[in-house]
A and B are shown apart, each in its own frame.
Chain A
Amino acid sequence: MSTTSQTEMTRSDVAAVAAPALDVKPVKHDKALIFELSKPGRIGYSLPECDVPETPIESIIPEKLLRKKPAELPEVYEVDVIRHYTALSRRNFGIDNGFYPLGSCTMKYNPKINEDVARFPGFAKIHPYQPEQSVQGALELLYTLQCDLAAITGMDQVTLQPAAGAHGEWTGLMMIRAYHESRGEKRTKVIVPDSSHGTNPASATVAGFETVTIKSDDRGLVDLDALRAAVGPDTAALMLTNPNTLGLFEEQIVEIARIVHDAGGLLYYDGANSNAILGIARPGDMGFDVVHLNLHKTMSTPHGGGGPGAGPVGVKRKLIPFLPAPNVVRKPDGTYGLDHGQPQSIGRVKAFYGNFGILVRAYTYIRSLGAEGLRQVSENAVLNANYMMKRLAPYYDVPFNRPCKHEFVMSGRRQKKLGVRTLDIAKRLLDFGYHPPTIYFPLNVEECIMIEPTETESKETLDAFIDTMIQIAQEAEQNPELVQNAPYTTVVKRLDEATAARKPVLNCSCG
């Protein structure tokens, strides 16, 4: 059991071992670190011979600058490298392994063609400082992507530089700050709803703003009275996700925009939930002034186990002068270039031109779907979420009883009364070969379970997951201990996170 990867388990295996596993004494068997495989004298590389006259290194670089003791890297051969990382991959779960309904993260299928094209030498093996005439294909791709993202979001111009959603938030807020300052206004406060992503207030803080948190109303939406009370001459912006993190569309968005704009503030759109509204509604038309998109969510680029992503930012015309440098432009002669000169620009936010390899994938995705396809993506994502919510509602509390968008939240409070926490439900799902939903977020729902199926999952997949969730709800009633002690089928059981934080061991100290 202990060396069997979760990803290798079939469903019947799970059924067979799940209950009896309570009594099984697992064999203690740690997966070796690469450093533990080292044997002096082995090599795993092939380098060219030195074809220039070689000079002793000490005669080139003064000895005091040279390393006294070699870096203790492992000595392994190529088969060790491949087997080690293959073994690690088998201890990991990705979208290609199974359903991954992680709310707010839009874990849709990562198309294979995107991976192939990003590896073409003309994309993967080019330098950001090459002469512009030698990278026209890359610049054309970036320019077209800027235009397509502007059209999708309803904004006037887009920068592709930010490397992640949080990076986009900070970039956008720095532009908002520069905009107000250019008008001689000192606006210090950014308003966020209590359901907002944690990065929103964090980004506001590092952009030099104070954060004002306003509560949601009992329908899960921005409380307009609270918003009216919060805005004033010091309001720089409201940051909003729409649909919000509860998966609900802010129906009063027009009024929200009016309140903020009347106070002289701007509207920032956190694009984490854009998968609900592609071709259906655009942030620019809702009154937003700045928008970021998470291409690793909405535009199918892989999450890579935590990155790289890309967080392009779109702005309305009045904010264009503040965009980070450089911008990709189309010149009058039809060629493409980089424009470094914008006197009011906030400056640089990222080296070079953003995460180009990710942008290539997003471009490929958008062109694989087209306008009609993107709209279909959102319709299907929303239908999938509503179907799941409807079928699960008898078994788990659904705090907001109205149509959701691409995701929805449930509360595990009914199961909590039986002694089964939301964390336990999540861990039990692992035994059935699922990645659990997002849990304990947003913060304003008790024992929150946040489910986002995405459009790339079939009805059969949704039904099987729903049936599993129903089974776990029944287990919580009939045999809570079974759920409380899950998982049983994974390569490790629940880990001691408290000790990890109290007595940190953060590297193998091999040297």
Chain B
Amino acid sequence: MKHRYLPMTEQDRAEMLKTIGIASVDELFADIPEAVRFKGKLDISEPLNEQAMLRHMRTLSGRNADFDRYASFLGAGIYDHHLPVVVNHVISRSEFYTAYTPYQPEISQGELQAIFEFQSYICELTGMEVANASMYDGATALAEAGALAHGVTKRRKLVVSRAVHPEARAILRTTARGLNLDVVEIGCVDGVTDTAAIASAVDADTAAVIVQSPNFFGCIEDIAAIEPVIHGAGGLLVVSSNPLSLGLLEPPGKLGADIVVGDTQPFGIPASFGGPSCGYFAVTGALMRRMPGRIVGQTVDRDGKRGFVLTLQAREQHIRREKATSNICSNQALLALCASVYLSALGKQGIRDVANLNVQKAHYAANALGSRRGMKLAFASPFFNEFAVHLGDNADIGAINAKLLEHGFIGGYDLGRDYPELKGHMLIAVTEQRTKEEIDQFADRLEELL
């Protein structure tokens, strides 16, 4: 068959077979036993030509309610932020996106330097000394942080706040099962982790306390109050943080965190139904050589020129096999590049401005909703760009969101899905994308629906 991706002509095939000294391609597969050969045609979707493919994909895409057509108040880990147009232009350079891992540094300096800059950005935002080249996403990075804490302390208990993203906690449980670790969950008071409960849960076998700030409810945790509890017991403090919030909030590294993780989706990465995204992973200098994943380091070439290489790291082929403490040997390079381009464009002033816009709009929305009939803010703790609203014990959040969709809104997250005690609560995210008009209309519609 002829296909635009396949260059082999009949003449090529004949010449190559002749060089090899065989009569047909089938002879190259003679070592596949007859019993396991596939006969017939794979039962898969019918092929489409380019024109039909584009039409088909437009149809499928058109069946989804996207942020261009709907105003989204949904967050819970993935946010509708403005995507500066330069980001897509840079990541569309095929020298970046069609490259493999930078194993040959002489022809991969562009990617290596981009990762080095990404590591620098993450250190600056988190206040940590070392960051790696990125992880699958924020949730898996959190689980890896738990595994690292176990590896370093040799302790088997992980104390995690229930205000950590439910999916991150679920992955942590799966990871802990693999490593035979125990996970103990800590409840909340007024939307933030119960520090007294942490103190009673932490013991001499606790590898780490894991919190998220801003947490799943949007509330900012008092990390300074949690820090002495775990360090007093000789364990590590792991903080997961929305990196956009660190444009304004004190970085966890300055508050005593040993490992800081999170997801850089707010930095120019499309929501894309939840993936691919890009996790970040940063540690203190003391943990540098224990950090999972890829790391880029600066060095010099034979002529003394500055250059960059993968270092201290496990590559696919050189990972320490059964001695490895993590099996991660790739990163999310292209999305780390998104984040770097975003941060380069925003810069020192822009990161504060966009974080401030999120705070202002979210607080305006919270006040607007909290003053409406039938709605009440769930928590009084300080928050960043997300907050929980109580819509009534019998409010059916799913049905309300279905109705909101008819009015052009993507409603908030149903907290009752993960927290039985928060049935009838909606988690609402307000980013710089939302206008005052949209917020006011959203409040009107929501009030009408109650």
Contact = CB atoms under 8 A, between A and B. Distances in A.
Contacts of A358: 275-276
Contacts of A412: none
Nearest to B109: A91
A107 B7 CA distance: 15
A82 interface: yes
Contacts of A233: none
Given A48-B432, A55-B363, A459-B15, A351 B247 contact: no
B199 interface: no
Contact of A55 (B36, B114, B360): B360
Contacts of B278: 308
Contacts of A368: 5, 47-48, 50, 53
Contacts of B56: 367
Interface string B55-87: 011111111111111101010111010101010
Contacts, number: 721
B110 A91 contact: yes
Nearest to A190: B322
Interface stretch (A10-18, A124-132, A261-269, A469-477): A124-132
Interface in B221-252: 222, 224, 246-251
A30 B299 CA distance: 12
A123 B273 contact: yes
A90 B360 contact: no
Interface string A74-116: 1110101110111111111111110010101101111101011
Contacts of B307: 492, 495
Interface residues of B, number: 211
Nearest to A160: B275
A280 B301 contact: no
Interface stretch (B177-185, B372-380, B388-396): B177-185
A51 B436 contact: yes
Interface stretch (A199-207, A313-321, A413-421): A199-207
Contacts of B251: 67, 71
B6 A455 contact: yes
A43 interface: yes
A338 to B, nearest CB: 11
A426 B106 CA distance: 11
Given A163-B276, A198-B321, A383-B17, A28 B332 contact: no
B110 to A, nearest CB: 3
Interface in A25-49: 26, 28-31, 33-35, 38, 42-48
Chain B CB within 10 Å — which of A6, A26, A368 has the most?
A368
B124 A72 contact: yes
Contacts of B13: 383
B343 interface: yes
Contacts of A383: 8, 13, 16-17, 25, 28
Interface stretch (B154-162, B165-173, B202-210, B441-449): B165-173
Contact of A92 (B92, B110, B125, B179): B110
B136 interface: yes
Contacts of B23: none
Interface string B338-350: 0011011111111
A369 B270 contact: no
Contacts of A493: 106, 301-303, 305
Nearest to B65: A134
Contact of A459 (B12, B63, B345, B352): B12
B284 interface: no
Most chain B CB atoms below 10 A, which of A89, A100, A174, A493: A89
B348 A131 contact: no
Nearest to A106: B100
Contacts of B120: 33, 35, 507-510
B47 A52 contact: no
Contacts of B273: 123, 126-128, 135, 138, 352-353, 356-357
A185 to B, nearest CB: 16
B287 interface: no
Q: How large is the interface on A (under 10, 10 to 19, 20 to 34, 35 or more residues)?
A: 35 or more
B102 interface: yes
Contact of B116 (A144, A202, A305, A508): A508
A496 B297 contact: no
Given A208-B178, A510-B124, A438 B317 contact: yes
Contacts of B53: 113, 117, 364, 367-368
B149 interface: no
Contact of B107 (A48, A87, A170, A435): A435
A355 B272 CA distance: 8
B174 A122 contact: no
A85 to B, nearest CB: 4
Nearest to B353: A47
A100 B356 CA distance: 46
B345 to A, nearest CB: 4
Interface string B1-37: 1010111100011011101110001011111110111
Interface string A265-299: 00000000000011111100111000000000000
B276 A199 contact: no
Of residues B19, B45, B384, which shows the largest number of chain A Cβ atoms within 10 Å of its Cβ? Answer: B45
Interface string B299-334: 111111111110110111111111111111111111
Given A33-B117, A102-B100, A131-B401, A126 B64 contact: yes
A370 B47 contact: yes
Contacts of B386: none
A174 B174 contact: yes
A197 B316 contact: yes
A357 B48 CA distance: 20
B275 A350 contact: yes
A10 to B, nearest CB: 16
Interface string A470-506: 0000000000000000010011111111011100111
B154 to A, nearest CB: 16
Interface in B91-138: 92-111, 113-114, 116-117, 119-121, 123-125, 130-131, 133-134, 136-138
B295 interface: yes
A427 interface: yes
Given A351-B274, A458-B7, A402 B31 contact: yes
B334 A93 contact: no
Nearest to B57: A117
B8 A455 contact: yes
Nearest to A96: B94
Instruction: Sort A-B residue pairs by CB-CB distance and give the 3 closest, nearest first.
Output: A352-B274, A370-B47, A122-B61
7 contacts: A71-B125, A163-B276, A205-B323, A287-B36, A347-B170, A368-B50, A506-B296
Given A43-B347, A280-B38, A348-B171, 16 more contacts: A44-B347, A62-B382, A64-B250, A67-B247, A73-B344, A73-B350, A110-B98, A120-B58, A137-B61, A174-B178, A205-B327, A249-B32, A254-B36, A347-B171, A387-B20, A492-B106
